[in-house]
Every structure is written in structure tokens, then in C-alpha cells.
Amino acid sequence: MKKLLCYGDSNTYGFIPKTCGRYEKSERWTGILSELLPYYEVIEEGMNNRTGFFKNPEGLKQSGGEYLSVYLQNHKDIDICILSLGTNDAQIFYNLTEEVIRKGLQELIDLIHKTNLRTEIVIIPPVKIMPYILNSSFSMMFDEESIKRNHNTLSVFEQVAKENSCEFFNINEIVTPSEADGLHYTKESHKLIAQHLAEFVKTISVLPRIL
């Protein structure tokens, strides 16, 4: 069975906007994806507040780049890796720039291909943060400047994907975050993401593993 790794932050984890809980596996996009792609072992590796390019004071698992290195040491047989990081890097605590994204994303891509050159990479850009976030509990982490940084740097993810011959799946063309917090997706959005992403994954040609 082919292996598909979903590596990302809270929207990969399945964070519920209103309750701050977690959607059931049958409700979050990663879980639904496993139902739609039965010939794949879909590995859910989402983490709340995970950054992609900065060291996170919360710990190793929240530091996306560092933890991916550790994770891949014991998981070298990944056929497709979906990378969905970068939203939390726009927080007020970090200085997110196009250069930081370009360098950080390139390091993640190189790390994956160093572990397994045959792994196909799908890059999902950060959620396009909505102004509703300023009226939510996340206003302590994101401000107007965060929203601006987030919006102004989204195109960099597609550029880096193209430069590295990675697949690019723009989630923002399909769904928008909940009005409850302007950051996380509703249950209905998770279903839409899974449906579109499943069809997208079916178009990816996966090379046989070298045993």
C-alpha cells in the first residue's frame, strides 16, 4: 500500500473553530481522504500551532522543520508528502518575510528528497487569514500586520513549488476559514478539501519504491 503523509498545522490536525476541540476522523480532511483513497495509507501528522520556518517555543513537535527531520528518520518510505505549513509563522512573535519562506520551504523540500528522492511533494499554501481573527481569541497571536504578511507572501509558496517541480494545491481557491475565528475551517470545508484533494492526488504519478 502506498503511503501519503499529511504534515501540517491545526487545520491538518482538525481544529474546531468554535469549541477548540478536534473534529472526528470522519470529519477532518485527512480522515476523509483515507476513505476516498483506499489504496493509500494516509498518515495524519497535524499539530496545533505548528510553525514551518521558525523554532517554536512550545517545543519540538510544534517546530515544523525540526520535527520533520526527526520524523523522517523512521519513515523513509513515504510516497507522497503533503506539506501544509506557514500560517502560524505570520504570528506577531515572528518576522515572516518572503526570504524566510523561500529559504525555509526549500529546506523542507530538500530534507524530504534527501530522505527519499522518489517522494512526491504537494505544497499547500497557508490559509488566507480573514479579519474576523481580530475579534477572536487568536487576536493575541495575530494582528493586522499578521494578516498583511500572510496575504502578501502566499504567492511565494507557489513560486517555490514550481521551481522545485513540486505539486501545488491552492486550498484558498476552494474554501475560506470560518467566520468564528478567521483561521480554521468548518466541517463542511474539510469535506470539500478532501474531495478536491483526493481527485488531485489521483493525478500524481508515484514511482515504484527502491527496495
pLDDT at 160: 98
Q: Which residue bears the cell 502578501?
A: 152
Q: Which residue bears the cell 526527526?
A: 70
pLDDT at 211: 44
Q: β-strand 167-168 against 80-84: which pairing, if any?
A: unpaired
d(CA 198, CA 185): 18
pLDDT at 208: 58
Q: Is 177 in contact with 18 (CB distance < 8 Å)?
A: no
How is the chain split among helix, strand and coil, in percent rounded to 5? 45, 15, 45
Q: Is 105 in contact with 89 (CB distance < 8 Å)?
A: no
Give the list of residues 6+ apart from residue 92 with CB closer than 8 angstroms, or none: 141, 142, 143, 145, 146
What φ, ψ does residue 57 adopt, rounded to 5°?
-65, -15
Q: Is 95 in contact with 51 (CB distance < 8 Å)?
A: no
162-185 burial, b for 16+ CB within 10 Å, e for fewer?
A: eeeebbbbebeeebebbebbbbbb
For 102-142, the DSSP string reads HHHHHHHHHHHHHH-TT-EEEE-PPP---GGGGGSGGGGT-
- For the chain (211 residues), the mean pLDDT of every run of 10, in chain order, is 97 96 98 97 98 96 95 93 98 97 98 94 98 96 98 97 98 97 98 98 76 44
pLDDT at 207: 60
Q: Is 85 in contact with 9 (CB distance < 8 Å)?
A: yes
pLDDT at 205: 78
